[in-house]
Structure 1
Amino acid sequence: MLEKVVPKYPITGGLQDRLRASARQWRLPYWDWAERKSVDHGLKTYTVPKIVKDKELDIMTSTGPLKVRNPMYQFVMPNNEVMGKHGVHHYAEKPAGTFDYSAMFEACYGTSRYVDAPDKDATPYPTDFVEGFQDNAKVEEALRGHGWYQNKDPDNPVYKDTLAEAVYRFFSEEYFSDYSKFASTALEKGQNPQYFLSIEGVHNNVHNWIGGQGVNPKTGKTMDGHMTEVPVSAFDPIFWLHHANIDRQFAIWQELYPDSWFENTKEKDEEGTYSIAKQTTNSPDVKLRPFDDLQGRPYDSDMIRDWYSTGYTYTELTPWDPKYSPNGIYDRKLYIEDLKAKMNTLCASTRNLWLDLGDELGSASTSHAEDYVVNVTYDRFELEGAPYLVSILFKPASEVSVVNQYMSPEYVGGVYNFSAPNPRCQNCDDQRKEKALSTGQVPITTPLIQRVRDEGVTDLNNMQVGQKGREVPLDQMQSLRVGVAYGKAKHSPEDEIMSNYYGYDWLYGATAGRERGIQAVEAL
């Protein structure tokens, strides 16, 4: 921008100087998909940002106004060449020998969200699939899900659900014991049931909600999209807004817990990662290839731990603001209290519900409030690596259609494996062969309370596995285990105090005798 774009504009009136100043301040924008914004009738819920909704934009060029294709709406390959000409391959598997799984994005030249996926033998492929198709309304439906949570209270209309609550728990008082629990879905032997949540797991779910899932009720076709599929997700421009938000959430967590970083750096990593070979030391100085700085030197985690040094910050992270230095001396306590108050405003759900109940039941109810979570362990490559979604339901799976579970009033939440057949990294392939297990968590206190209030009865332990609009029999999911855990929470009415969750243990009775339910004799 500085060298090629700005010089084309007139020098008069200081325009070039203003453009240069703006260019130097430009940073990749983030999309906070967990922030609930006001929509119709004041209802607060999740929305897709306008920047990715408009197909065209009006911009001011050096020669005057111009209408251009919005690059954030979708990515289109240069010269409309299909992706297959540039290394995107068709892959098809028959997981567990029961049904075909195909992803045919090699035939596309534009990215899609919730496009009808063609039959694998269809020729030619439908125009929408090839050129790309965006249904951002369905993205919003998937993010919101839980249609029955809608509160019609005119004084406080809001969807009460599990997405914002999961993010809130990232930042709440010591919900995680250390950095590794916060960051990764990897299951450790004997893992505390509190630590089944992770930023990686929520990241995976959002990929699924954005890309496409379920069946189009109008056409009967399975819906798909680039963000849902690992090999092609980064083609969709919304990928970068999503990942910039993951970076932001990580930065907020680091600001709240600055001393938490890599632990046991002398121990060997049993499983390995994309960058770290098995049985090698996982430490902050491991090179994060293929990411290099401007001098061609590979980054490591220590180099990018301080995001301020890279010229980045985020809306909530401004410690230099004069209000945090009331006497000319920086007051970190004041800054952190304000940051926690912002998190309470942005994404607290269960806290707010319990505080409302406290007004009805007395303050003791918020000092040691009950809290429930559903935990899931699974093998990402169970169905030969094909992506699948584990759904948690209020009714038996036999009574809920797998077609669009997330829109069912019986749907509580889900865990998406975000995987693909034929992994291209060696560690992924090793994990596939060794059947390494991952974790996921769905906080259910808010939906549980709402359900009891509305209908008086509930059944927590029902599950369903879906793969592109088709139900997967549980006997094909040998690694899958689902359990309910119970803990306590302290919710404070003070703006600057976040909730403190603690003391979780398994409720084995909730899953006793249930297919794929965690049993008391099992050690995870």
Structure 2
Amino acid sequence: MVNEIIPKYPAYKDKYLEAAHTWRLPFWDWAKNPRIPQMLRYERITITFGGEPEVEIDNPLYQFRMPNDKKMKVYGVGPIVNFDGGDPLEYGECIGTSRCPSKKELSGDAWAKGVAHDNEVDDNMLKHSSVTDESLFVLASGCIIGSNIDRLFAIWQSLNPDKWFETDIQRYFDQKIVGSGTLITNKTPLRPFHKDTTGTLWTPDDARDWFKLGYTYPELLSGKETPSQLLEMIHDNYGISRREALWLAQNADSLPPGVEIIQESEGVKDGVKMYDYALSIKYSKFALGGSPFNIEVFLQPKDGEKTYRTEDFVTNVFNFSQSPENADGVEVCSNCRDGQDQNVQVTAYVPVTSYLLKMFKEKQLTSLEPLVVEEVLSRMYWRVVDIGGKPIDEEKWKDTMGLKIGVSQTQMKYSPDPSKLPEFKPPKFIERLGTGLAGSSPPAGVVGNNITVAKINKLSKEVSAGGSIVFSSPSMNQNPPGDYGTGIALLNWDPNSKADPLDTENYDILISMVIKSRSKAVQCNHKLAGKGYDVISTFKPSPWFSDRPKIRVDIKDDQFEIYVDGRKEYSYKRTIKKNVTHVHYYSTSRRVEPVMAREITANTYESTANVS
């Protein structure tokens, strides 16, 4: 604007400079306004430059349109699988994008030029059919959406100023292909983005402070907003559960059981304490070969049937995914292929307290106390449907979906002061609800840990003699390239050490187990920090690891007992008699993926007697 447009209109320089310096990039806060913004609805807009006559142009926010109206296939875009079961969608024939085209508009001139049915988009976003309606929802204006995501992250940064980028592993699709290193840090060059004409690359640290980059957001105008001010804004704009709880406490003639008034100090409105419930829904992202799907949860009427009625609908989780290949069998997403090979798992956390309050207001629920709510939620049932809303036969997904649905419960304390955080205890899962598997509370002395490849993972609780560690992976590559190894090492860290905690050489390696898939062997070893390894010992599990392997290590006084998929396979002398504090999960070649998933789980047990 300043360097290119304004010099063409010298008579309007001051006016246009003022406009340039006060220009704002719009963002769409879809949480506050779940409707298509007005500025996206105009197909054509009128503008003027200087004293020239007004001109009408295409609104760039209305839809994306190809330069010079060239078809998308000119740039390599081809047919995409139609998950409704019809013919492939010929995106290559399009010159513009669409929002909610009808079935009749999925071909021909309307499809090629693109259509926008904004009222239908609004309807879909405001009711549960938004993810089961048969029409497509394609939004053209990504920049408005992206600006809002940046805004949300900036607010989070302001509330968590001491938290930033941690060392992580390289991700193939978006880092390996541009030449990033094996480990990604806050100083890793963000290829291919240059910050100057000499080729200097941006780093995460360079982008941390948006004020230094010359912009900010409405909630962060000064950069000195306090956490209390930001919390007040968040609660006022997005705190639906808090708002409902306080309204209930202040307006109901009689409080429902499970909701209590909290006596605040004199002169201050009372707060409220109430039970809060949520669903945890876990599934395999590529269970249907990459086809997107929707998991719908319903509530069976008391003494009624499972009819999947709209009025019985509770919530849903939509799985955004795509097949690694297009309709012609050509790979279009290497990241999807990697995710499919690794059997990526997704967990959605869905609050349902608002739904229960709605039931209470409609006199379908008498209380929010656990026993009453558990009886109601025990009537939950679910199904999986395709993107067109058509139910998918359970036989087609039950063995690959890994669907686990659980219900958690806690008590929330809400203050009428919006600048205060709600208080709550760690949620507990109600074991008898849902699938009976998702997040059910483990027995005492059992702790779950997520273990990430190429990383030294600290255990939530140390494991000593008499205890066990069980590693589980959702996948196993039975035919890896070469005879490279995938290692799992049990480590001990000296808390008084001043050495680099990112270097495994500074840990005592109590036992290292390297899986060599080609030779069907596991090599074991150990070493003290800063010293050399002991002589390698090898065992060969028979049969070999399954496609969903489990490795159990029992820690005895004098040895480690190793189990593979439930079978005791080997005993290794326990020379370094220290507790296990960390786990190192790695590939012996940095260029090769581990034979198990990039993320595995490790359950630690105080006693081997608790291992099931």
Following superposition, the deviation at residue 225 of structure 1 comes to: 3.7
User: CA distance change for structure 1 residues 456 and 133 in 2, over 3 Å: closer, same or farther?
Assistant: same
- Asked if structure 2 preserves the Cα contact closer than 8 Å seen for 1:491 and 1:500, the reply is yes
CA distance in 2 between partners of 1:116 and 1:290 (Å): 39
Letter in 1 for 2:56: K
Partner SS, residue 284 of structure 1: coil
Higher relative contact order (CA 8 A, sep 6+): 1
How many residue pairs match? The answer is 403
SS at match of 1:363: strand
Q: Which residue of 1 aligns with 2:387?
A: 468
User: Quick one: distance in 1 between partners of 2:53 and 2:80?
Assistant: 46
> Which amino acid counterpart does residue 70 of structure 2 have in structure 1?
E
The SS at the match of 1:419 is coil
Relative to structure 1, the CA distance from residue 131 to residue 512 in structure 2 (aligned partners, 3 Å threshold; closer, same or farther) is closer
Give yes or no for the alignment of 1:421 onto 2:320: no
Residue in structure 2 matched with residue 381 of structure 1 by the alignment: 286
CA distance in 1, matches of 2:165, 2:343: 25
Q: Deviations over 1:167-210 (max 9, x none)?
A: xxxxxxxxxxxxxxxxxxxxxxxxxxxxxxxxxxxxxxxxxx5x
2:416 and 2:181 mapped to 1: Cα distance?
A: 47
Question: Does residue 28 of structure 2 align to residue 48 of structure 1?
Answer: no
Q: SS of the counterpart of 2:218?
A: coil
Confirm or deny: 8 A CA contact 1:371 1:489 kept in the other structure. yes
In the TM superposition, residue 102 of structure 1 has moved relative to its aligned partner by: 4.0
Q: Is the 8 A contact 1:58 1:65 kept in 2?
A: yes
Amino acid at match of 1:370: Y
Report % sequence identity.
26
Give the corresponding residue for 2:266.
none
* 1:331-390 Cα deviation digits (max 9, x unpaired): x5x733222211111111000111112224352395542111111222222211122222
Kindly provide the CA deviation profile for residues 29-71 of structure 1, in whole angstroms up to 9, marking residues without a partner as x. 21101114xxxxxxxxx32211101112122223122222211
The amino acid across from 1:70 in the alignment is: N
TM-score by length of 1: 0.69
Structure 2 distance, partners of 1:89, 1:500, is: 52
2:153 is aligned with 1:250: yes
* Structure-1 separation of matches of 2:396 and 2:192: 36
Matched, 1:511 2:430: no
Deviations 1:304-338 (CA, angstroms, capped at 9, x unpaired): 11111111211101235xxxxxxxxxxx5x73322
Question: TM-score, length-normalised on structure 2?
Answer: 0.59
Q: Which residue of 1 aligns with 2:246?
A: 355
Q: Distance in 1 between matches of 2:15 and 2:272?
A: 53
CA contact (8 A) 2:406 2:435 kept: no
Structure 2, unaligned runs of 5 or more: 263-269, 325-330, 366-375, 449-600, 602-612
Query: Which digits, 9 at most, give the CA deviation of each residue in 1:408-431, with x for residues without a partner?
Result: 343333322222111756454222
1:331-342 alignment to 2 at 5 Å? 335-342=226-233
Partner residue of 1:448 out of 356, 377, 380:
356
Whole-angstrom distance in 2 between the partners of 1:308 and 1:77? 34
Q: CA deviation at 1:101?
A: 8.3
Compute the RMSD of aligned alpha carbons.
3.2
Match of 1:343 in 2: 234
CA distance in 1, matches of 2:193, 2:291: 28
2:18 is matched by which residue type in structure 1? Answer: A
CA distance in 1, matches of 2:98, 2:289: 24
| Aligned counterparts of 1:493 and 1:276: Cα–Cα separation in 2 | 49
In structure 2, which of residues 10, 13, 16 is the aligned counterpart of residue 19 of structure 1? 16
Q: Which residue identity lines up with residue 214 of structure 1 in the other structure?
A: T
Matches of 2:89 and 2:322 in 1, distance apart? 10
Q: Distance in 1 between matches of 2:37 and 2:163?
A: 33
Counterpart amino acid of residue 254 in structure 1: Q
Is 1:68 equivalent to 2:57 in the alignment?
A: yes
Q: 1: CA distance between counterparts of 2:36 and 2:243?
A: 24
Greater per-residue helix proportion: 1
2:281–2:438 CA contact under 8 A, matched in 1:
no
Q: Give the equivalent residue in structure 2 for 1:171.
A: none
The answer to whether the aligner puts 1:29 opposite 2:26 as a matched pair is: yes
Largest Rg, 1 or 2: 2
Quote the residue 2:132 is aligned against.
214
* Whole-angstrom distance in 2 between the partners of 1:502 and 1:294: 49
**Residues 286 and 410 (structure 1 numbering): CA distance in 2 closer, same or farther, change over 3 Å?**
farther
8 Å contact kept, 1:93–1:384: no
CA spacing shift, 1:390–1:284, aligned 2, 3 Å: farther
Residues of 2 paired with 1:436 and 1:225: CA distance?
25
Aligned equivalents of 1:19, 1:369: Cα separation in 2 = 55
- Is the contact between residue 289 and residue 298 of structure 1 (CA under 8 Å) also seen in structure 2? yes
Tell me the SS of whatever aligns to 1:413: strand
Shift of 1:117: 4.5
